[in-house]
Amino acid sequence: MGSTLRIAIVSANILLALFIFQNGFLLKRQEISAKSSCADAHAQPGETCWMSQQYNRTILILVDALRYDFLIPLDNPKNSESPEWFYQGQMKEVGKLIKSGKASIGTLLADPPTTTLQRLKALTTGTLPTFIDAGDNFSPDAAVNEDSFIYQAAQLGKNVTLFGDDTWLSLFPNKFSKSAAYDSFDINDLNSVDDKIAPKIEEEVKYSESSSIIIAHFLGVDHCGHKFGPSHPVMADTLRKMDRIISKTIESMKPTDLLIVIGDHGMTSTGDHGGESDNEIRAGILVHSKKHEIQLPKTPMHQIDIVPTISLLMGLPIPFSNLGTVIVEMFQRDLWEMAVGMNYEQVKRFAETYATQKNFGELHSHTARDSNTMEEQIKTMSRIQTLLRVAWTQFDDAYINVGLFSLIEAVLFLMTNEEMSVGWIIYRTGCALLQAALLTDKTDSDGSARTMILMALAVSCLSSTISLAHRALRISLNSIVSARVIGKNA
């Protein structure tokens, strides 16, 4: 009876300790399921929904793990002995387009974790990651519940076509009007998915007029990185193949089409990704349009900036929870103020909703004041984004410490093998109640629960250590005594 009670109470302590520990690690972003609608913005005159559609079609080519420097054309080719030779300056056709001003390139900063599933969510919803996502990377039920430009397009009856990685289908079930999707998990398979979708996208761009958004997700560069790393002849081949696919797509494009080529993340010098090193978060972007010459900014953009940009260019409402800022350089000059204004109103709407629904009062100070000029509006959006990025990615050291300390204490107590006296039962139940209080009152603003737990834990650790030391001493004394007795008897 005594030992059952002991195990039950200590198990509760350990379980609560694990919960507290985990609470310190979780990002606190909570999803808001609200969706934007056409009525949310004062539409452009003559329009029924936000801004008028600027292109008939957007072709979004996603080259998995396309690092920013893979696209940069080189004036002097790298020495073929150098490790960079295999991935820099290999995309020759793209290089010609960039040099002639027909295409423009830039850097997109991806938020960690730099894993494809999290990046696809960010690239379509404009949101920042939640920590729990990292664990869901391969979960079968990954459907996106938040607003996205895919949802908005489907909602307004615009067709979206998908070629490539089948992760998209699990993220957006029933949202694609046409798809040819393939399994993405076999990293040893460098070519088969890309070879299947390359002719499909060419045909779609050339002959079909039915889709407003065409998405093609190529996997070869990423898989080659995982298998061989970037400095390998196969990488040079794979990049040259992507180069041909991009230039062929451009040849097939109509004057009213827009092409956006992006990497979802980069890769390290060994071809891995997931972390937050420069080479992992810096992905490349290339844009091309026959209608306007686009010059992307030289300074890095955020990956989520793609979301409001595609949305407005395609005549869609910007997704409700988006935190990205429109890339104005992709709009005609006379539309800049309007695009930023609509984006600003949307970010403000989201921030106000989040502040109210999720008890995040700090946001109100940013949304209370009205920003009137384009510059002010961009600054306000960037402040809101920074505030949330910091808040959502912070680790709570207090929780981590209390969690760890509680675990150590429980293990020490178990080692003492102490009988469960009434005193101990009261003490441990008290500990469990304090732990539960810390978990339910997440704010613990004055830190009193934490201080009390830490003090109680310290006393218990001390008592367990004394008891353990006492026992160790007794054992060694006993062995000395028994050794003497044996000696005497002999």
Least Å from the CB of residue 316 to Zn ion:
29
Between 262 and 410, whose beta carbon lies closer to Zn ion?
262
Least Å from the CB of residue 239 to Zn ion:
16
Q: Which stretch binds Zn ion (CB under 5 A): 25-33, 176-184, 216-224, 249-257?
A: 216-224
CA-based nearest residue to 224, from 234, 214, 216 = 234
Partners of 260 in the β-ladder: 60, 287
Which alpha helices (DSSP H) does 296-335 contain, by range? Answer: 306-313
Q: Amino acid identity of 13? A: N
Structure token pair of residue 85: 């030779």
Rg, the chain, Cα only: 29
Least Å from the CB of residue 269 to Zn ion:
15
Between 102 and 227, whose beta carbon lies closer to Zn ion?
227
Among 133, 146, 165, 222, binds Zn ion (CB under 5 A): 222
Q: Which stretch binds Zn ion (CB under 5 A): 171-179, 215-223, 250-258, 368-376?
A: 215-223
Establish if 111 lies at the interface with Zn ion (CB under 5 A).
Answer: no
Between 66 and 434, whose beta carbon lies closer to Zn ion?
66
Q: Which stretch binds Zn ion (CB under 5 A): 32-40, 89-97, 213-221, 222-230?
A: 222-230
Between 222 and 305, whose beta carbon lies closer to Zn ion?
222
Strands 257-262 and 282-289, bridge-based pairing? antiparallel
Which alpha helices (DSSP H) does 306-363 contain, by range? Answer: 306-313, 336-357
Between 118 and 346, whose beta carbon lies closer to Zn ion?
118
Total number of residues that touch Zn ion (CB under 5 A): 1
Least Å from the CB of residue 114 to Zn ion:
9
Least Å from the CB of residue 34 to Zn ion:
32
Least Å from the CB of residue 110 to Zn ion:
12
Between 242 and 438, whose beta carbon lies closer to Zn ion?
242
CA-based nearest residue to 374, from 329, 349, 423, 337 = 337
* β-sheet with 103-109: strand ranges across: 178-182, 160-165, 213-218, 57-63, 257-262, 282-289, 103-109, 301-302
Q: For CA atoms 167, 168, 169, 171, give the dihedral sign.
A: positive
Angle (CA) 97-168-224 rounded to 5° is: 55
Between 204 and 222, whose beta carbon lies closer to Zn ion?
222
Contacts with Zn ion, residue ranges (CB under 5 A): 222
